[in-house]
Amino acid sequence: MGTIIIAIVAVMLVAIFAFQNASPVSISFILWKFEASIAIIIFLCTLVGIIIGITITVLLKFKIRSPSKD
């Protein structure tokens, strides 16, 4: 239950920070260039970080639970 509360507070803080910084910025990555709001960029980066964190956690738990075949 505590983890859910911490996650909700973190999401609220990111949302407040993102919407207070809503000015457009130019993003360029290798040959890819586009312009977007800082709020969208912050949201997408946070979302990608959460997905990566959850994926690593699940993979590590699966690796620990699966018995070794050696």
Tell me the H-state helices in 1-70.
2-20, 38-65
Could you tell me the pLDDT band of residue 63, with boundaries at 50, 70 and 90?
A: confident
C-alpha neighbours within 13 Å on the C-beta side of residue 35 = 3
Indicate whether 70 pLDDT > 60.
Answer: no
Give the pTM: 0.61
Q: Which tens digits make up the pLDDT trace of 5-46?
A: 888 898 888 788 877 877 888 988 888 898 988 888 888 888
Domain range annotation of the chain:
2-65
